[in-house]
């Protein structure tokens, strides 16, 4: 495995990572996946290490892929529900970070507010990895660009159209990483749902350097023309349940269905970070169709998680 100088770094948001560092993580993920299929199921570069995984929200893919990733690297992951820790009774994030740093070699955390990840990273002496916040989902975007590279053989010049909630956390990470990697991003969303200003400013700056474009469309049919990748996520993210009716009303014209996929052209593939709300943002036909990459995306979370842990914690 090639060694990159990411040792000891936290991963709170991809805005802090250079294009080369992002490419290094993706290349390591691809390498680890190849080795896994060649029979190297366990590569114990983190033998004897421990990783605390604090979850304030539910998770299937992120939790399981990090736990299995740790096992395949020879490390042990401890799943900790936020409510079961003293955090749930008011112990501060800073004190929790200081204490956990005395036991473990890294902290993976899924939190409601992004500021909590930043606070954990500020006070921990070990790397802190964002396993999703209301602002971003960097591990998802890294795995997704690994999948796109695996399927299309390139990233620079690829056109990815995100259809749906323009303020989505997964979109934020796709936008930041995509702009750094030279991926052209189109966002098809209602004008009321736009990305976070700081994320967009950072992505625009990265796009100016990589030559990528970032474009907004209100009409999803116009947006998807000639696309390589059509990507969507749920309309109602975890914690937004009270906005459910309003968001569904706004987003109904943005469903990814066969008609939209046909409009995109024959080469377009479909991606979704999952979990999907079938019948809302995507139909069964598209999810289960030949152009859907969703299961490969889910699988690649495992290999990218190993890459992240191996590079940051070894």
The interface region with ligand CP, picked from 24-32, 57-65, 144-152, 303-311 by CB under 6 A, is 57-65
- Three-class SS state of 70: helix
Residue 170 found at the interface with ligand NVA (CB under 6 A): yes
Using alpha carbons, list the distances in angstroms from residue 250 to 142, 234, 257. Answer: 29, 13, 17
Helix (H, G, I), strand (E, B) or coil at 190: coil
205 lies in the binding site for ligand CP (CB under 6 A): no
Record the tokens describing residue 263, joined without a space: 């409009």
CB 176 → ligand NVA: shortest distance, Å? 15
Among 139, 168, 172, 273, the one annotated catalytic = 273
Number of residues located near ligand CP, criterion CB under 6 A: 9
Q: Report in angstroms how near the CB of residue 199 gets to ligand NVA at its nearest.
A: 14
Q: Which of 140, 255, 297, 305 is catalytic?
A: 140
Neighbours of 152 (CB within 10 A): 14
| 83: annotated active-site residue | no
Stretch that binds ligand CP, among 16-24, 42-50, 58-66, 86-94 (CB under 6 A): 58-66
Please name the residues in contact with 192: beta carbons below 8 A apart, sequence gap of 6 or more: 250
What track of x and - describes contact with ligand CP for positions 130 through 159 (by CB under 6 A)?
--x-------x-------------------
DSSP 288: T
| Residue nearest ligand NVA, Cβ-based | 237
Q: What is the distance between the terminal CA atoms of the chain, rounded to a whole angstrom?
A: 12
Q: Residue written as tokens 């999803």?
A: 220
CB of 63 to ligand CP, least distance (A): 6
> Considering CB distances under 5 to 8 angstroms, the limit depending on partner class, which of ligand NVA, ligand CP, none binds residue 233?
ligand NVA
Judged by beta carbon distances under 5 to 8 A according to partner kind, the member of ligand CP, ligand NVA, none in contact with residue 169 is ligand NVA
Strand arrangement, sheet containing 128-130: 76-81, 50-55, 106-110, 128-130
How far is residue 196's CA from residue 191's CA, in Å, rounded to a whole number? 13
Binding residue for ligand CP, selected from 1, 78, 152, 274, defined by CB under 6 A: 274
Dihedral of CA 134/139/145/151: which sign?
negative
| Cα–Cα distance for residue pair 61/301, rounded to 1 Å | 7
Q: Which residues contact ligand CP by CB under 6 A?
A: 59-62, 132, 140, 273-275
Q: Which residues contact ligand NVA by CB under 6 A?
A: 132, 168-170, 233-234, 237-238, 273
């Amino acid at each position: 495995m090639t060694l990159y100088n990411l040792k000891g770094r936290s991963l709170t948001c991809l805005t802090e990572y250079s294009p080369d560092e992002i490419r290094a993580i993706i290349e390591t993920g691809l390498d680890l996946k190849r080795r896994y299929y060649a029979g190297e199921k366990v590569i114990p570069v983190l033998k004897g290490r421990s990783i605390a995984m604090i979850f304030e929200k539910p998770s299937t893919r992120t939790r399981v892929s990090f736990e299995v990733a740790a096992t395949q690297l020879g490390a042990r992951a401890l799943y900790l529900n936020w409510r079961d820790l003293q955090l749930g009774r008011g112990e501060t994030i800073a004190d929790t970070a200081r204490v956990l740093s005395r036991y473990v070699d890294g902290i993976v955390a899924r939190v409601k507010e992004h500021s909590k990840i930043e606070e954990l990273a500020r006070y921990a002496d070990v790397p802190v990895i964002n396993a999703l916040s209301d602002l971003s989902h960097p591990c998802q975007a890294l795995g997704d660009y690994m999948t796109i590279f695996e399927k299309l053989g390139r990233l620079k010049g690829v056109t990815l159209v995100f259809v749906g909630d323009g303020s989505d956390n997964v979109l934020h990470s796709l936008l930041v990483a995509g702009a750094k990697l030279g991926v052209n991003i189109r966002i098809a969303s209602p004008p009321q749902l736009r990305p976070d200003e700081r994320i967009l400013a950072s992505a625009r700056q990265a796009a100016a350097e990589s030559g990528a474009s970032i474009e907004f469309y209100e009409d999803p049919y116009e947006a998807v023309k000639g696309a390589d990748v059509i990507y969507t996520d749920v309309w109602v993210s975890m914690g937004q349940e009270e906005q459910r009716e309003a968001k569904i009303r706004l987003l109904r014209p943005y469903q990814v269905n066969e008609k939209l996929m046909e409009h995109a052209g024959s080469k377009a593939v479909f991606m979704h970070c999952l979990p999907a709300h079938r019948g809302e943002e995507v139909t069964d036909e598209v999810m289960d169709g030949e152009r859907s990459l969703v299961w490969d995306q889910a699988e690649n979370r495992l290999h990218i998680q190993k890459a992240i842990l191996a590079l940051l914690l070894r």
